Structure formats: structure tokens, C-alpha cells
Amino acid sequence: MAAAVDSFEFLAQEIIGVFTSIRDVLALVGVAFAAKRTLTLSGTAWQVIRVHGLARLFPERNLAKRYGPWAVVTGSTHGIGKAYAQELANCGVNIIIISLGQEDCEATAKYLEQTFGVQTQSIPVDFNEGKPVFDKIQKEIEGKEIGILGERKTLNNVGVMYDYPDYFLNVPAEKLWQLVHVNISAATMMTHMVLPQMVKRGRGAVVNVSAGGCCMPVPQMTVYSATKVYVDFFSRALNYEYGGRGITIQCLIPYYVATRMTKFSSTLSNPSLFIPTASTYARHALTTLGWSERTTGYWPHTLQSWVVRMTPVWLWLWASTRLNNALRRQAIHRQVRRKSSVRNPGSRPSSIILSDPISSAEVKLAGLF
């Protein structure tokens, strides 16, 4: 009987010892996890302070000396591209304007020359025309020392978006081709055109504009967000290949900015802290050049990016679908209102048509995502 009791006590001690060991292991795992999370959050906080704080306190003013005297800015007659060109010109960089429409290009060039005293060159093109467009641009910029492509000192900002959020099969095939040609081909071939001279000199900057939609799948903006994923990955891989040769490769990942692309929605066309004007966004974004290879360019958008990264994919898909459903309804109602005004210019549209069908909760989603 005593032997049985001793055996039980021995077994109990062994079991307790095992659980104690497991508890110690779990404690160590917990400490390691907490330490990792703390270091990650600290690193992220430092990056935000450095990119959006120190960069604004100590901006690079002599961009022409650091990168080169000329900047090629695609899509530079409207929106972010135009605002970015103005910021570059304000720093004394000469601007090559590449965009659709000769009158718009010439008007932008005249404004930059008169306002900032820089040299300009206008190259009106339609990137939908394919290879002949790039042959023309190559000939036009020959002999110029390009420092920045937006693509920055080349800003590759030219871009096409949906007319409003919609399901894939409802988007015209012509629009899908535009999305591919303009959002992918232009960024790729403009970089291929300008990068060799930068590598030869050992200095230069390429700034590609992606979008917040590259971070998660976006239903009803399916192809647009997919093309922006390309721009993001293209920029990151390019930075790995050429970042060590004195070339700055930066990818900007803005969320909603109040430009012509968002005119389909009164919610997105109304500037706010999280939906800045193009000039506000460009002013913030330019200060990050040389400080970060991949950034939203605007600190409130960085906060949005944090929220998106922490959001489960299923919740993101649900929320973005709800938001885009609301934005599509709003866009269609605005179209109906405009058509009604054209047909009956003297009449007062009905209150149903005048109201924008988007709830307060959906407005908050627009500001968040």
C-alpha cells in the first residue's frame, strides 16, 4: 500500500514538473511575442516620425543638384501630377510635361514658367496609342539630363481609374484596356526609357504613384487595384535592383485624394483631413522623397494604412464592397441629376434625385478606407 502511495506521489510530482516546464516555455514565448510586437510598433512609430516629421523639418531644397536639372512628370496637367509638378518647379526643377491634350500641356507649361521661373517642355500624348507614343517621347527628351521621373524627377503619375465603382463585367472592355495600357505600360516603359541615363550618372529618382488599393483586394475596383499592385511590386523590385547605384526608387501609395478621378462622388470630392486636395497631398509627398522608398506620402493616409493592415481580409472585403455599393449609387444619382438638369434647365430636380444616397456610416467608411 505504501509503495502505491509513493508511486502516486512520484507520478504527481512528474506531472507537475511537466506542466511547470510548459508554463515556463509559454511564458518565454509570450515574452518573445511581446518584445517583437513592441519592437515592431517602435520601429513603425520611428518611421512615421522620420518620414512625416523630420522630413518636413529638414526638407531637401536643392533637388536639381541632388537628382538632376529636369523632371519628367506624366499626367501633369491635372490632379496629383500637376500639383507635384508645381512643387518640383517651386524647388527650381525644370519640368517636362507629358499629358493628354496640347492646350492643357501648354497652359500648364506657361503657368509654371511665369510662376516659378523654370524652363518647361510640353509633350502631349495619349498613352493608349502604345509603342509609337514612347518613340515620340524618347525623341523629344533626347539630350536632356533627367533627374526625376513621376514616374520623380520622373513622376510616373499618369493613371486611369473606373468612372465609378462597378462589377467587373459591367466595365467596358475599352476601359479595361485603358487601365492596363496607362497604369502598367506607361510606368514600365517610361522607367525603361529614362533609367539608363540615371544609372550612368549614378544619381536620379523614379517616383511611381500606386494607390491604397494595392494593399488589399478591392471588389468593384478589381482591375484598377490590380494594376496598382503591379506598380507597387514593380517599384519595390526595381529599388532592390538599382537602389544601391545611387538611384532613388519611390512608390507613393495614397488613399483617396480629391481630384478629377473622384468627381463621381460628392463625398470623395469634398476635401477633408483624410481626403486632401491634390496640392496638399503633393506638398507632403515631395518631402518624403529620399526619406522613404515606399510610403503613403501623407501622414493621415499612413494612419489609414495601419488600420487596413490590421483589418482581416474578410472584413475588408465586406467593408469595401459596402462602400463601393454606396459610391456607385451616389454616382448614378448624380448622373441622373445632371441629365435631368440638361433636359429641363428651368425645372427643379426632385428631392429624391437631389439627395446623395450615402449614409453617415458609409461616409465614415470612405474616410477610413
3-state secondary structure of 151: coil
Q: How much is the average pLDDT of 330-335? A: 87
CA 144 – CA 94 distance, rounded (Å): 10
In this structure, which amino acid lies at residue 330?
A: Q
* 186-201 helix and 222-242 helix, angle to the nearest 10 degrees: 10
273 and 317 housed in the same domain: no
* Separation of alpha carbons 100 and 91, rounded Å: 25
Mean pLDDT along residues 96-118: 94
Among 223, 178, 330, CA closest to 269: 330
Residues of the chain with pLDDT > 90: what percent? 57
Least confident of 76-80, 104-108, 247-251: 76-80
Whether residue 134 sits in one domain with residue 178: yes
The predicted pLDDT at position 14 comes to 65
Q: Is residue 158 very low, low, confident or very high in pLDDT (cuts 50, 70, 90)?
A: low
Residues 272 and 320 in one domain: no
Catalytic residue among 67, 84, 164, 224: 224
Note whether residue 11 is domain-resident: no
Whether 289 and 329 share a structural domain: no
For residues 318 and 224, state if they share a domain. Answer: no
By CB neighbour count within 10 A (0-12 exposed, 13-18 middle, 19+ buried), where does 136 fall? middle
Q: How many structural domains compose the chain?
A: 3
The residue that leads in pLDDT, 358 or 17, is: 17
**Does 15 reside within a domain?**
no
Burial-class residue 176 by CB neighbours within 10 Å (0-12, 13-18, 19+): middle
Average pLDDT over residues 195-208: 95
What are the cell numbers at 315? 472584413
pLDDT number for residue 33: 82
What's the pLDDT tens digit per position in 18-75?
667 677 777 778 878 888 878 878 877 888 898 999 888 888 878 999 999 999 999 8
* Final residue in a domain of this structure, among 10, 42, 58: 58
33 and 100: one domain?
no
Specify the pLDDT at position 292.
94
Please say if the pLDDT value at position 351 is more than 50.
no
**DSSP element (H, E) containing 98:** strand 94-99
Position 343 confidence tier, pLDDT thresholds 50, 70, 90: low
d(CA 50, CA 46): 6
Using an 8 Å Cβ cutoff, are 274 and 304 in contact?
A: yes
- Asked whether residue 140 is domain-assigned, the answer is yes
**6 within domain boundaries:** no
- 173 pLDDT above the threshold of 90: yes
Report, as an integer, the average pLDDT of 239-253: 95
Residues 239, 363, single domain; the answer is: no
Contact between 256 and 298 under an 8 Å Cβ cutoff? The reply is: no
Model's pTM, two decimal places?
0.83
- Is residue 196 assigned to a domain? yes
pLDDT at 154: 41
Residue 196: predicted pLDDT: 96
Q: Are residues 237 and 268 in the same domain?
A: yes
233, part of any domain = yes
Whether residue 7 lies inside any domain: the answer is no
The answer to whether 281 and 297 have CB atoms below 8 angstroms apart is yes
Annotation marks residue 242 as catalytic:
no
Is there a domain that residue 9 lies in?
A: no
What is the torsion angle, in degrees rounded to the nearest 10, for the CA atoms of residue 252, residue 255, residue 259 and residue 261?
A: 100
Among 35, 58, 81, where does a domain finish? Answer: 58
32 phi/psi in degrees, rounded to 5: -65, -45
Q: Which domain range does residue 54 map to?
A: 21-58
Q: For position 226, what pLDDT does the model report?
A: 95
Q: Are residues 272 and 251 in the same domain?
A: yes
Measured CA distances, 149 to 71, 84, 119 (Å): 6, 11, 16
Q: Is the pLDDT of residue 7 over 70?
A: no
> Both 85 and 37 in a single domain?
no
Q: What is the pLDDT of residue 347?
A: 54
Task: Tell me, yes or no, whether 244 and 203 share the same domain.
Answer: yes
Instruction: Quote the strand ranges of 180-327, DSSP E.
Output: 204-209, 247-252, 294-295
3-state helix, strand, coil in the chain (%, to 5): 60, 10, 25
pLDDT (0 to 100) of residue 157: 47
Which of 58, 86, 108 is a domain's end point? 58
- The verdict on 319 and 277 lying in the same domain is no
> In the predicted model, what is the mean pLDDT of residues 321-349?
79
